[in-house]
Amino acid sequence: MLQAAFDERGIDARHELLDVTVPQLAGVIDEVRGGDFLGAQVTIPHKERVVPLLDRLTEEAQATGAVNTITKEGKRLVGHNTDVAGFRVALDRLVGRQKMPKQAIVLGAGGGSRAVTYGLITGGFQRVVVFNRHLHRAEALVKHFTKSAAHMELRAMPWHVSIIEAELLKTRILINATSIGLHGDVSPLPAEIIPAGLLVMDLIYNPPQTRFLRDAVAAGADTTTNGLEMLLHQGTAQFELWTGQSAPLDLMRERLDAALAAREESADDAAADASAASAAAGSGAPAVPAGE
């Protein structure tokens, strides 16, 4: 979607993936200071690690302690967090015309969760509970937001099914900010503890309908949404930061939808091939990929 935006606006830039290990991170950030880069995106697992390598942070990056976008001021690097802006749009779409709730549960304590939590804090929520499988990470997140959340109740709780089930009965919004469901048809929560009537968001956008969201729908959720809107709008914010131009929103949405549809089709084809191979192996016949 970003390459399509560059091309549509006539900007001579390439959006390319750099697979960066933790030991390589500092060296790659130094390369970004050079003239070949407009800036950079930062994804898992570097959103928090990159912070001390930058020269300045914007208010939202400072507040969240996580950076997903780097821009340049000469050779100085500025860290931004456009996930916050993307989440706000996604939250508004999730709630729709209803009155914005004041209680939420967030699953996970990584960089995405920090953007979500900050969005809820600044969105006027009165109570937010963060669950993480490693409690100390959730506690660190809560401690980080001590000052900005002074007006509300922000709590970290241990990841025990009975505790989560009890808290779900007190909340209106449930957000999965973990990576559970990104690989494999699994959910962070047992389906039977999800009550009816919730507004449910999964930051995962591929697959578009995770098991977590399917379980929420089956439980009687009022509304569910995946992370596509957040992805799109954090991307439009990145484009505008790098170029100073307005983002071609409709084009970016179209290209994003097309890319995800192609990826889903490819995954379906791979699953069909695997199923055919398994069936052939069971019958003693040679395995022949579909289409050959």
> Annotated catalytic, 47?
yes
Which residue in the list 47, 72, 102, 143 is annotated as catalytic?
Answer: 47
205-227 as b/e: b if 16+ CB within 10 A: bebbebbbbbbbeebebebbbbb
CA–CA distance, 63 with 72 (Å, rounded to integer): 20
Place of tokens 């109570």: 127
**Terminal CA-CA length for the chain:** 33
Residues recognised as catalytic: 47
